[in-house]
């Protein structure tokens, strides 16, 4: 074995803290589990497995709180059609400025979609009312 290039006197006396321990899983399971059950009340495990690409067994373990959620699986949930709901579940009560602005814009978009749907419905009803008077 080759000797170290750093002398014992120049070496760190204590190990440096790591950004993350190898294999550590971010503990998002309970929040994700609640969101999954709200989104998919039936066959929650199968839907979770299908979206994340994991096995049904792994999905059941996550839902039961027996394991955590990998970053890859969380990314798959964010990329799904229900991604915003999962992001809201993770953010919880957090209120950084960017999140408050994002939520405001998301709500504004939803209200505008509803407004457009109502405009179309009003026009449809007005046309059908006009047809009755002809």
Q: What is the pLDDT of residues 56-75, one digit of tens each?
A: 999 999 999 888 888 899 99
Mean pLDDT of all residues in 30-54: 94
The pLDDT, as a whole number, for residue 19 is 43
The pLDDT, as a whole number, for residue 18 is 43
Tokens 């299908």, residue located:
50
CB 59 within 8 A of CB 70: no
- Asked whether the predicted pLDDT for residue 24 surpasses 50, the reply is yes
Element housing 127 (H / E): helix 97-133
- Asked whether the predicted pLDDT for residue 94 surpasses 50, the reply is yes
pTM of the model: 0.66
Q: Taking the domains of the chain in order of start, what are their residue ranges?
A: 27-92, 95-134
């Amino acid at each position: 074995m080759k000797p170290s290039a750093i002398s014992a006197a120049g070496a760190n006396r204590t190990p440096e803290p790591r950004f993350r321990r190898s294999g550590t899983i971010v503990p998002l399971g309970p929040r994700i589990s609640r969101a999954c059950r709200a989104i998919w009340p039936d066959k929650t495990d199968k839907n979770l497995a299908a979206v994340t690409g994991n096995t049904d067994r792994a999905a059941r373990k996550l839902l039961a709180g027996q394991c955590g959620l990998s970053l890859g699986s969380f990314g798959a949930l964010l990329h799904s059609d229900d991604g915003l709901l999962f992001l809201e579940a993770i953010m919880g009560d957090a209120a950084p400025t960017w999140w408050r602005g994002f939520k405001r814009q998301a709500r504004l978009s939803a209200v505008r979609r509803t407004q457009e749907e109502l405009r179309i419905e009003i026009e449809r009803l007005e046309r059908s009312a006009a047809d009755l008077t002809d």
